[in-house]
Amino acid sequence: MKNYRLLQWASWQRLSILFVAVIAILSALLIHLRSLAPNLSPTEKITLTSSSSIQLILHNSLNAPYRLLEWLATKAPSGHLILYSRLPSVFLAVCSLILFIYILRHWYGPRSTFFGFCILLSSAWFLHISRFTGTDIEYFTAVLGLLAIQVGLDSHKDNQLMIYIWLVVNLILLFIPGMIWLFILSIFWQRNIILNRWHFLQATWQRLICLLLASIGLAALAINFIRTPHLIQQWIGLPVHFAPWLTILEQFGKSMSALVYQAPYHPELWLGRLPILDAFLSLMLAVGIAFYIQHWQSERPRMILSYFLIGCLLVAIGGSVSLSIILPLVYLVIVAGISYTHYFWLRVFPRNPIARGIGIVIVTLVIGLSCFYNLQQYFVAWPNNPETTQIYQPVSP
């Protein structure tokens, strides 16, 4: 009876945590979704126009995952265009949070997963792209999806279904400009597991299904490029005109300095030139980097670094790739820094319950202050910024 009550209490505890998490997600992503920025910005209007019909999407299938969601949103009842046009980004944001939690649970453990969830959900950048009609959130979700499917391959080695999921996810990601390079990198880092999974499919029909899925996805891309060859350059993340190498190197540095020093001026999506990370998150990023340097012999830090450098390069050359392609990696390293800080504290005070409790309380309070700062930045400071108000004002007839 006692064990039954304990199991029942654990079940209620999990349900309570899930309920609170759902309420927090819906509150952060849906409150004032229509009224915070009361009109569509120029970028939002362009995104809606390019997704207004299936014919346009078939003619140019780049960013097809997001644009198909936008097309479905345009089929909703009229009268709420601003609200419905932003719901696809909200949907992808929820997917990003689920994928982020899945990765954190396998990499860092439950406490760090909770801290990481709070940090990402309240992140000003994440809130901006999650409540905006644009493809930035698509890159955020794509990178997390790429990492999550790799975690799934590692964690479920006896599940034949994982190879099909891996294939379908990567075929979808190939429709996003620039993601081909991360796809190639993921194959390099997962080559042994992928080969083992392929050999694990002993039945001929199982391999034929994989080949059929791959053929359908690649044929759709090939047909699109045959019809409009100029899309190939955009698909691989290259700009129409290359800037001088010194300018590219400068932009490469700026893409990294945007995290902790000065972000690009983009009032449509950001407040002034504030850095993307606050002081606490910048410190935890440095701690996370130090942690991964200490464990450089393992595969994960080298994999994250390769994705990060490729992402920064794609942003620096000035193509269509968004800065959001590197942010999921940054937040994963930040959570590693928080996890390592907590581990170090417990190692210093291994048997002192008061000191251990104080450490948890301090980390929780600092994370709470960081979350509050980011929420204020997005919900209060940004919409009242004069530059933001000017961009989102209604167009005069």
DSSP secondary structure string for all residues of 180-241:
HHHHHHHHHHTHHHHHHHHHH--SHHHHHHHHHHHHHHHHHHHHHHHH-TTHHHHHTT--SS
Q: pTM, whole model, 2 decimals? A: 0.92
φ and ψ at residue 238, rounded to 5 degrees: -95, 145
Residue 378 is predicted with a pLDDT of 94
HSE (side-chain half, CA atoms, 13 Å) at 387: 11
Residue 155 is predicted with a pLDDT of 83
189-213: pLDDT as tens digits: 988 888 887 777 777 777 888 888 8
Q: How confident is the model at residue 397 (pLDDT cuts 50, 70, 90)?
A: very low
Domain assignments of the chain as residue spans, ordered by start: 39-388
278-316: pLDDT as tens digits: 999 999 999 999 999 998 988 999 999 999 999 999 999
DSSP secondary structure string for all residues of 337-392:
HHHHHHHHHHHHSSS-HHHHHHHHHHHHHHHHHHHHHHHHIIIIITTTSHHHHHHT
Mean pLDDT of 38-66: 89
212-249: pLDDT as tens digits: 888 888 888 888 888 888 889 999 988 888 888 888 88
Say how far apart CA 50 and CA 93 lie, in whole Å. 21
